[in-house]
Chains A and B, each alone.
Chain A
Amino acid sequence: MKVSPIERGANYVVLVAFALIVLGPIAVIVSLAFGPQSASVARDGGPFHPENFPEAWEIGRFGQYMQTSVVVAVIVVIVSVLASILAGYALGTMRFRGATLMFYVFLLGIMVPTEAFIVPLYFDLRMVGLTNTVWGVAAPQIAMSIAFGTYWMRTYFRTSSRALIDAARLDGAGSMRILWQVLVPIGRPAILTLVLLTFMWTWNEFLIPLVMSPNGSVRTAPLALAFFQGQYTQGTALLAAGAVMVALPIVLLYVFLQRHFIKGMIEGAVRE
Chain B
Amino acid sequence: MADSTTTIGRSASRLSARSAWAPWAYLAPAILLYGAFLLFPLARAAQFSLFEWDGLGASTFVGLDNYVEIIYDERLREAFWHALVLVFFYAVLPLAIGLLLASLLTRAQVRGLGFFRSVIFLPQVIAMVVVAVTWRQIYAPDGPLNGILRMIGLGTLARPWLGDYTFTLPAVGLIGTWVCTGLVTVLLMAGMSRVPRELYEAARLDGSGPVREFFAITLPMVRGEITVALTLTIVAALKTFDLVYVTTSGGPGTSTTVPSYEIYRRAFELGEVGVATAVGVVLTLIVFAINGVVNMIGDRK
Q: Which of B26, B104, B197, B242 has the most A CB atoms < 10 Å from its CB?
A: B26
Q: Is A39 an interface residue (CB 8 A)?
A: no
Find chain A residues with CB under 8 A from B228 CB. Answer: 269-271
Q: Which of B144, B232, B288 has the most A CB atoms < 10 Å from its CB?
A: B144
- Chain B residues touching A, majority SS: helix
Tell me if B239 and A226 are in contact (CB < 8 A): no
- Chain A residues touching B, majority SS: helix
Total CB contacts across the A-B interface at under 8 A:
283
Find chain A residues with CB under 8 A from B263 CB. Answer: 115, 119
Q: Is B34 an interface residue (CB 8 A)?
A: yes
A50 to B224 CA separation, bound complex (whole angstroms): 47
A29 to B118 CA separation, bound complex (whole angstroms): 19
Which residues of chain A from 236 to 272 have a CB within 8 Å of any chain B CB?
A: 236, 239-240, 243-244, 246-247, 250-251, 253-254, 258, 261-262, 265-266, 269-271
CB distance from B16 to the nearest CB of A (A): 12
Q: Is A42 an interface residue (CB 8 A)?
A: no
Find chain A residues with CB under 8 A from B267 CB. Answer: 119, 122
Which residue of A has the minimal Cβ distance to B20?
A96
Find chain B residues with CB under 8 A from A15 CB. Answer: 105, 110, 112, 116
Tell me if A116 and B45 are in contact (CB < 8 A): yes
Q: Is B130 an interface residue (CB 8 A)?
A: yes
Q: Of B36, B122, B137, B287, which contacts A236 at CB under 8 A?
A: B137
Seen from chain B, the residues whose Cβ lies within 8 Å of a Cβ on chain A are: 7-8, 11, 14-15, 18-20, 22-24, 26-27, 29-31, 33-34, 36-39, 41-42, 44-45, 47-48, 55, 101, 104-105, 107-110, 112, 116-131, 133-138, 144, 178, 182-183, 186-187, 190, 197, 200-201, 224, 228, 231-232, 235, 238-239, 241-242, 245-246, 259-260, 263-264, 267-268, 273, 276-277, 280-281, 283-284, 287-288, 291, 295
